[in-house]
Structures are given as C-alpha cells and as structure tokens.
C-alpha cells in the first residue's frame, strides 16, 4: 500500500490525517482515488492540495502520450524522461516587484506555470551582458547599481538610483563599426515615470528611446533613431528594441537614465544588448545559444506533437527557425516544426532526403499579431501513408507541397530536439505544454479550443506546482523538504539552504550550498576516513642508458578500488590517497650541477594521460658534489577523482621523472643506473 498514517485524529474519518507519510511507489489513479478525501499534504511551508480539484477543467495526457514539462527548469517528461543536454532560460510563472510583492508573469502561458525560452546565439557588443554592477559599467550622478533580487525575461534587473540632484545615468563605452546598430533592453519603473535609453556617437546623439509608465500600459517612443518594438511586460515593465542612426565614429556611449533629477529617483533595468544589425534579435544570456533540450527518444513513424509557442523574433529572411525536430539534427530523415523565413509562415516538414519529402505551411503569413502572442501548433504525421498535417490554433492548414515518398523514412538519430539545434536556427520563442503521442495520429481540434493545458494524471500538485507528487516521487521547485531518519539524522532540501544534512546533535555532516557548482569544477562530496591505510598500487621507471638528459614516465596505470570499497558504496566520486615518490642515481651518473626530479600525477579522465600540473607528489634535488650517489623520497596526501567503468571504480595515475641539467653541468655519461618509483595507499573515499 503506497500510503499509511503515522498519526490519526481520534474519531476522524479516512482521509483526515494530521500527518501523512508517503512510502513506496506512487501509482497515479490508485493514489488519487485513495487520497481523494484528504485536504492537504504539507511539505514544510508548501501545501499540496489533493483530490480532483487541482485537475478540474484540464485535459489528461492522451493514452500513450508523453507530456514534456517545459514549465519547470528540469524539463522532465510525464514518463520521467530527462533531457541529456539542456541550455534554457527559465521564466517562472510568478515574479516579484521592488517591494517583494509577488505578481503573475504574463509571459507565461498559464498562471502557476513557467515557460522555457529558446533563443539563437547572439553577438552582444556589451561587456558583461548580464551584470550592470561590474567595472565595465560606469556611473554619472548615480550610485553603483544594486541587485534587485529578481529577473524579467531571463534577465537580472538592477536598481539605478540618483546620487545627487542632477539626472544620472549608467553607461558603458563600446567599440563599434560604422554600421547601424540594434539595441535591446528591459526597463522597469522605479520612482520615475520616464526613464530614458540613449546611444551617443561621440557627442552626437544617435538613438533616444523614452519609456513612459504614467499610463495603464507602459509605452516607448524614439525621438532619435527608430523604435523597432516596445512590448509591455505587465503594468510597469517594457521590453524595448531600437535601431540607431548611422554612426560616423567607432565608439558608442550607451546610457540608461533615471529620467529625473530628484535625489531619490531610480529605475530598474537589465543589461543591454547591442548588435551590428539593422534589427534587434532576442536576448541570450552570455551571448550563447540558449533554450535547447535534447531528449533520448526512439521516434515513431506515425504520431502527433502538440506545443504552445510564443514567437519573440523579429521575422526576416536570415534563416529558418526550428521549434522542434524529431529524429536528428540534419536536414534529412527527420520531422520538424519551424518558421520558414522565405514564406514567412509556420511549416511542418517531413523529409527522407531532398527528393522525398512532405511539407505543409500555414495559410497566412506572419503579422505583428503573430509575434509575442501564444499560438498552439499541432503536427500529425504518418510516414507509411505519406501523411503530414499542420494545425494552427485548432485550424488545419492546407498549403502543401511534396516530392517522392516518405514511406522509407529511417530517422537519423533517436532524439527529440526542442528549441535550438544549431547556431542561428533556434526559434526565438517561449515554449510550453509539449505533448508527444507516439504512433497516434491525433487530428482532433477540441483540446486547445478552450486554451486549457494537459496534465499528468499520475500527479497532484500545490497551487504553484512548486511541490508535485507523481509516480516518480516528490519534485520540488521553490519548495522545501525535510526528512529525519530513525537515528535523528536529518536532510533538508530547500532554496535557502540547498542540500543540508545534520547528525542527531545538529552538527553538519553534508552541505551543498544554495548556489551552482563553480565553472570548471565538479562536486567532490565528503570523505569517509579509514583507520589504517591500504596499499593499492606501485610503479617504477629506471634507465641505464648514456643520455645526459632524460624525461621518462611509467606506463599509464588504472587502479581498481573494488577491493577497498564496500560493495554498497556506489556513489564514490573521489579518493583520499597517500602517495610516495622516490628517486635515485648511482654515483657514477652524478656530475656537479646535475638535476633530479620525479613526480606522480593523476588523470581527470579514465585511462587518459594526466597533465603535468595534476601533481600528487613531487621530489627534486640538485647535485652539489660530483660522483656522490643521490637518493630521496617524499610522501604526501592527495585527493584524486574516481571513474566508474562497467560498475568498477578506478583511479588513473602515472610517475614522471626528469634527470639531467640545463646549462653546462649535465649528468655523467656512463651506464650507471638512475630511476624513480611511486606507491599509492588508499585512505578513504569521497562521496
């Protein structure tokens, strides 16, 4: 039985538990029926409302269908399928204003559900595009920008506040060409109704956009340059795109004004985006390709894919933009949904090769109303019968084209790509509610007529879907979970503490802070210390040749740790070792000034030669007397990574030696022996 009561009020009926413990595997329909009468499950400060009320009015995932959850950062599907690669901008369903008030984010499709953004790679001429507080930016009559603590459209908002009675601004000098430039930013109201965005060519104003927050909806006008677009974000923020007039110099002064001379005037703004283009393109954090998820999935030769799309791109003829592609990243042996630049329309495409394909385009070309508006797109295919259909907002499209046959479709790879495939071809958009029905051709138009979403029938959630219970366990987003075992050890997972484990006395025994692992680093864990070390490996390298300079190494050694680790310890990621290094040279080999060194190095990949910098231990000496034998040894503790290969844990290491001299004091050229060796002892695993 998947649920049980640890405590039940006296006289209460079934389903009125004061404390609910969820154990075992959760099976959707049975779980929901069993808990139909329960009011709520509390996971710390988050309440999961149970029963049919959370799904009333929504449509269950079709039988055999799979809902890809593009409303949460992990993008896991209803069947537990996870993306193998993921670069996304996640826009949550709720945002906070400068006072901390939580507001619905109207860029999301449904209240309580976020969306992921897909943007093409963008070259941003602004240094540090996501951070207005770095030294790349300067202040004029304003304080240094401060982090507001929240984001809009995947961009961090910074507070710019006057420091004197004069109007102030934040600015950066940018090296540009003589082309026109596209500028883009999100500006949010502070204490002033009229913040201003400007770009100067030397002392000449080439672009000025004034934002106006005095009305019910934010607006923007350009007194210099051209306003490409101004899209309101709620009642107090606006996404602005502008195009400068022609430059004559090579330096742009980009400025964000508070728009007021009051001492306390302020405005909120994201970092700006500047491009050498005659039109603005969507923002991509750190100027890289964003929004691509690649799922391992064996494509079906007939099926259906539904998705809600909110296009954000400025449409033009620069190239096709893909929403999803089934079966591969190439142009052949795949099925895809894309915006076709040549026709300015949505296009469903199924191609075996250039001579065998089916295509359906939307009847109407894009208009301004097509952009920044949610649209439902459904693609239905049946390769065996050369069938391909496209539905836009529930209406079947009829503009078709074909050549040959797609009956011989053999997908190029077992992947479903969502969002960006290759640089320049990602569909700049927000995505939500993608449902894949393998081997099911679903041409019904009733589901999306009411604008409702699919739901996972195995899942129950709280209001904001930040705590969710389904067949795979409990998923938390912006929620907190605390567990205590029979020894009073506790584990807490929360946005404030990260992953924290304590013993019965409250001492911290494991702590992963609430921040991402630093770039270029891997999580190491903590050490289980052994009471006595265990010998695990030794290597030697020696020579008797007549070289006066020698750099040599032992063979690459992969050391299994299977004999020193408990069989139940399967999460080892590193090892604490004691490393000993020795070197020796016979008296007849030593000249005045001869140099001797040996070091052990570890690898960061299994069975791969280490780099010279990854030292475990090193010993070095210089000969001050000729003809005297040399012998030295050093021991040191070190941490090394562990690699799991076919279920067996390994470390990879090597000994490198150097004998000789730089300058006029080589080793003596005789056949005496010189060599080095290394030994490893295991002191404990890192988990």
401 three-state secondary structure? strand
Q: What is the per-residue burial (b if ≥16 Cβ within 10 Å, else e) of 45-70?
A: ebebebbeebbeeebebbeebbbbbb
Name which residue leads in pLDDT, 7 or 46: 46
Tokens of 46: 């988050």
Report percent pLDDT > 70 for the chain.
82
Closest CA to 358 of 319, 386, 396, 382: 386
**Global confidence as pTM:** 0.66
653: confidence class by pLDDT, cuts 50, 70, 90: very high
32: confidence class by pLDDT, cuts 50, 70, 90: very low
Name which residue leads in pLDDT, 25 or 184: 184
Is the pLDDT at 300 greater than 80, yes or no?
yes
φ, ψ for residue 32 (rounded to 5)? -70, -40
Which of 29-38, 75-84, 194-203, 279-288 bottoms out in mean pLDDT, i.e. has the lowest? 29-38
Those residues whose C-beta lies under 8 Å from the C-beta of residue 553, and which sit 6 or more positions away, are 541, 654, 655, 656, 657
pLDDT tens column, 673-685? 888 899 999 999 9
Name which residue leads in pLDDT, 573 or 212: 212
28: confidence class by pLDDT, cuts 50, 70, 90: very low
Which of 427-436, 491-500, 512-521, 596-605 bottoms out in mean pLDDT, i.e. has the lowest? 512-521
Mean pLDDT in residue range 74-89: 86
Q: Which residue shows structure tokens 């951070």?
A: 131
pLDDT tens column, 405-422? 999 999 999 999 998 665
Closest CA to 120 of 149, 89, 147, 99: 89
Mean pLDDT in residue range 354-367: 91
> How far is it, in rounded angstroms, from Cα 309 to Cα 304?
16
pLDDT of residue 315: 60
43 three-state secondary structure? strand
pLDDT of residue 309: 93
């Amino acid at each position: 039985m998947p649920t049980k009561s640890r405590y039940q009020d006296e006289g209460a009926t079934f389903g009125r538990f004061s404390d609910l413990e969820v154990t075992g595997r959760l099976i959707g329909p049975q779980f929901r029926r069993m808990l139909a009468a329960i009011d709520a499950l509390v996971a710390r400060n988050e309440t999961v409302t149970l029963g049919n009320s959370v799904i009333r009015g929504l449509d269950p995932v079709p039988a055999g269908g799979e809902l890809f959850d593009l409303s949460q950062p992990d993008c896991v599907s209803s069947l537990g399928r996870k993306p193998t690669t993921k670069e996304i901008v996640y826009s949550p369903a709720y945002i906070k204003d400068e006072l901390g008030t939580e507001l619905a984010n109207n860029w999301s499709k449904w209240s309580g559900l976020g969306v992921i953004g897909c943007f093409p790679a963008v070259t941003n001429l602004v240094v540090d595009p996501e951070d207005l507080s770095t030294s790349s930016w300067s202040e004029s009559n304003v304080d240094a920008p401060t982090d507001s603590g929240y984001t809009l459209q995947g961009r961090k908002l910074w507070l710019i506040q006057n420091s004197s009675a004069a109007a102030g601004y934040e600015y950066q000098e940018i090296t540009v060409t003589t082309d026109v430039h596209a500028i883009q930013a999100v500006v949010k109201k502070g204490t002033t109704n009229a913040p201003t965005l400007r770009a100067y060519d030397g002392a000449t104003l080439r672009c000025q956009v004034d934002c106006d927050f005095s009305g019910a909806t934010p607006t923007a006008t350009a007194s210099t340059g051209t306003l490409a677009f101004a899209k309101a974000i709620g009642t107090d923020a606006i996404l602005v795109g502008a195009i400068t007039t022609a430059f004559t110099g090579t330096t742009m002064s980009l400025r964000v004004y508070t728009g007021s001379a009051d001492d306390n005037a302020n405005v909120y703004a994201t970092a700006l985006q500047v491009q050498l283009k005659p039109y603005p393109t969507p923002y991509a954090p750190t100027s890289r390709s964003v929004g691509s998820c690649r799922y391992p999935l064996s494509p079906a030769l007939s099926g259906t894919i539904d998705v809600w799309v909110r296009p954000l791109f400025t449409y033009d003829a620069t190239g096709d933009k893909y929403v999803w592609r089934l079966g591969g990243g190439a142009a052949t042996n795949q099925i895809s949904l894309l915006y076709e630049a040549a026709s300015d329309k949505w296009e469903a495409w199924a191609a075996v090769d250039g001579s065998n394909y089916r295509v359906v385009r939307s009847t109407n070309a894009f208009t301004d109303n097509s952009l920044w508006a949610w649209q439902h797109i459904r693609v239905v295919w049946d390769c065996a019968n050369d069938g391909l259909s496209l539905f836009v907002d529930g209406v079947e499209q009829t503009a078709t084209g074909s050549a040959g046959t797609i009956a011989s479709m053999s997908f190029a790879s077992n992947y479903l790509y969502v969002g960006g495939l290759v640089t320049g071809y990602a569909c700049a958009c927000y995505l939500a509610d993608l449902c894949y029905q393998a081997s099911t051709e679903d041409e019904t138009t009733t589901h999306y007529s009411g604008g409702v979403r699919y739901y996972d029938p195995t899942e129950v959630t709280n209001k904001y879907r930040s705590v969710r219970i389904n067949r795979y366990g409990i998923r938390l987003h912006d929620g907190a979970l605390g567990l205590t075992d029979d020894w009073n050890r506790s584990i807490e997972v929360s946005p404030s503490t990260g992953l924290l484990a304590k013993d019965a006395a409250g001492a911290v025994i494991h702590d992963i802070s609430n921040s991402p692992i630093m770039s270029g680093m891997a999580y190491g864990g903590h050490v289980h210390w052994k009471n006595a070390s265990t010998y695990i490996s030794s290597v030697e390298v020696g020579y008797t040749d007549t070289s006066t300079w020698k750099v040599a190494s032992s063979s690459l050694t992969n050391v299994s740790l299977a004999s020193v680790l408990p069989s139940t310890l399967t999460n080892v990621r590193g090892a604490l070792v004691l490393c000993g290094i020795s070197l020796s040279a016979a008296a007849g080999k030593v000249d005045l000034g001869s140099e001797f060194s040996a070091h052990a190095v570890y690898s960061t990949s299994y069975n791969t030669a280490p780099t010279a910098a990854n030292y475990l231990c090193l010993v070095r000496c210089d000969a001050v007397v000729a003809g005297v034998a040399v012998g030295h040894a050093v021991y040191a503790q070190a941490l090394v990574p562990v690699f799991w290969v076919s279920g067996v844990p390994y470390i990879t290491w090597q000994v490198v030696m150097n004998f000789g001299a730089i300058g006029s004091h080589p080793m003596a050229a005789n056949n005496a022996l010189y060599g080095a060796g290394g030994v490893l002892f295991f002191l404990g695993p890192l988990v």
